[in-house]
């Protein structure tokens, strides 16, 4: 390994800004705890594990099945 490196002619990666996008999301405490436990077992940080899981879901085009909690809309005839 060199004592000193010269980066004066280096260029920034033009694709770096397209690799990841920073977002702020609120996650359930139990979900975060699950991924943190998995991170401790695997040695991979939990944020990376969450990203890998979401990427897999997107690649497999997984669809979440859930029921809406909204009450049904009343029709205009029921007024």
Three-class SS of 17-65: HHHCCCCCCCCCHHHHHHHHHHHHHHCCCHHHHHHHHHHHHHHCCCCCC
Q: 66 pLDDT band (50/70/90 cuts)?
A: confident
What integer pLDDT is reported at residue 61 of this predicted model? Answer: 96
Q: What value does the mean pLDDT take over residues 41-63?
A: 96
Q: Is the pTM of this model over 0.85?
A: no
Task: Say what the pLDDT of residue 76 is.
Answer: 65
Quote the pLDDT of residue 42: 97
Lowest mean pLDDT, pick from 2-6, 44-48, 71-75: 71-75
């Amino acid at each position: 390994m060199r004592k000193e490196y010269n980066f004066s002619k280096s260029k920034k990666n033009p694709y770096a800004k397209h690799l990841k996008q920073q977002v702020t999301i609120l996650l359930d405490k139990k979900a975060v705890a699950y991924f943190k436990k998995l991170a401790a077992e695997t040695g991979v940080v939990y944020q990376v594990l969450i990203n890998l899981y979401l990427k897999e879901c997107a690649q497999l085009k997984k669809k979440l099945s859930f029921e809406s909690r909204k009450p049904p809309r009343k029709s205009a005839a029921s007024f």
